[in-house]
């Protein structure tokens, strides 16, 4: 594996009532894409959010270590919740560009337009004036991705970023993520409940169930020769994600 960018060791996370994540360990190398897959309540999103310390109220890390050797950007499942509904998407992106890059107003606007082009927003000069509710779900998720990229991250933390999208748009977003990773040399930690989705964008898979890792390995091996019954159950429930239209 390439040099470590993210290392999680023996991570435990608990609410006031019980332990939710039990001794999870994983690594992401520079430029590597790792997927965490599991059903709702498996602890996958808590594991990802622990990297930035963004755990829900009443939930805290109780043990283990999280070591991030670089900057990370976060892409959430619900772009409507991540964006200010009363502020144009261009203004929101420009604000992050200005803050993260120490840019003046004109430079921040130019950088925001550059990022909207990068994530393939059609007619970005016009779309930058739109409120989030005026964009499609796929366009909103692209804006959230642009905001994550505005911090010049080395690691993208993706928390179910395609779950709310229909299958065609989902495939387009996955293709975009793969292209951006190759173009920018990004590493990625990608959380999903869907093995087919993870298999499209990740070279290694970590399978979680009930707060613990039950299997990990190269994507091809996990998808073709799973070693744990839970992984086999997830495979049996997979719906194939279509290829994006060219």
Q: Is the pLDDT of residue 246 over 80?
A: no
User: Band of the pLDDT at 3, cuts 50, 70, 90?
Assistant: low
239 CB-near residues (< 8 Å, 6+ apart): 167, 194, 196
Q: Using the structure block, give the residue that is written with the tokens 């050797």.
A: 69
Q: What is the pLDDT of residues 71-94, one digit of tens each?
A: 999 998 888 888 999 999 999 999
CB 31 within 8 A of CB 2: yes
Rounded-to-integer distance, Cα 155 and Cα 12, Å: 22
81: helix, strand or coil: helix
Q: What is the 3-state secondary structure (H, E, C) of 113-175?
A: HHHHHHCCCCCHHHHCCCCHHHCCHHHHHHHHHHHHHCCCCCEEEEECCCCCCCHHHHHHHHH
Q: What DSSP character marks residue 16?
A: S
Percent of the chain whose predicted confidence (pLDDT) is above 70? 96
Q: Token digits for 105? A: 């107003």
Rounded-to-integer distance, Cα 161 and Cα 152, Å: 19
89 CB-near residues (< 8 Å, 6+ apart): 83, 127, 128, 130, 131, 132, 135, 140, 143
121 CB-near residues (< 8 Å, 6+ apart): 127, 139, 142, 143, 146
Say what the pLDDT of residue 30 is.
94
Q: What is the pLDDT of residues 13-53, one digit of tens each?
A: 999 999 999 999 999 999 999 999 999 999 999 999 999 99
Q: What is the pLDDT of residues 186-217, one digit of tens each?
A: 999 999 999 989 999 999 999 999 999 999 99
Among 62, 77, 57, CA closest to 13: 62
Q: Is the pLDDT of residue 239 over 70?
A: no
User: Band of the pLDDT at 244, cuts 50, 70, 90?
Assistant: low
Average pLDDT, the chain: 92
Q: What is the pLDDT of residues 91-100, one digit of tens each?
A: 999 999 999 9
Rounded-to-integer distance, Cα 15 and Cα 11, Å: 14
| Continuous segment of H or E residues that includes residue 212 | strand 212-218
Question: DSSP H helical segments within the chain, as ranges?
Answer: 44-50, 79-82, 89-101, 105-118, 124-127, 137-149, 167-184, 195-201, 219-224, 229-236
168 CB-near residues (< 8 Å, 6+ apart): 242, 244, 245
């Amino acid at each position: 594996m390439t040099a470590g960018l993210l290392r999680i060791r023996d991570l435990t996370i608990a609410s006031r009532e019980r332990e939710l994540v039990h001794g999870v360990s994983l690594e992401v190398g520079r430029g590597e894409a790792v997927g965490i897959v599991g059903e709702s309540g498996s602890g996958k999103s808590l594991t990802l959010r622990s990297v930035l310390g963004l755990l829900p109220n009443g939930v805290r890390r109780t043990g283990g270590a999280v070591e991030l050797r670089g900057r990370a950007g976060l892409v959430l499942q619900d772009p409507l919740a991540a964006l200010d509904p009363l502020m144009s998407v261009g203004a929101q992106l420009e604000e992050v560009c200005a803050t993260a890059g120490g840019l003046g107003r004109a430079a921040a606007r130019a950088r925001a337009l550059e990022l909207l082009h990068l994530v393939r927003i059609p007619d970005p000069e016009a779309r930058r004036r739109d409120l989030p509710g005026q964009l499609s779900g796929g366009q909103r998720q692209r804006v959230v991705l642009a905001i994550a990229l505005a911090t010049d991250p080395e690691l993208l933390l993706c928390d179910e970023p395609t779950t709310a999208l229909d299958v065609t748009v989902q495939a387009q977003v996955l293709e975009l993520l793969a292209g951006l990773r190759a173009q920018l040399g990004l590493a990625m930690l990608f959380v999903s409940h869907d093995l087919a989705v993870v298999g499209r964008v990740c070279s290694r898979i970590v399978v979680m169930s009930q707060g613990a890792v039950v299997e990990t390995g190269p994507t091809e091996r996990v998808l073709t020769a799973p070693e744990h019954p839970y992984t086999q159950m997830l495979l049996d429930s997979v719906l194939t994600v279509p290829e994006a239209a060219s």
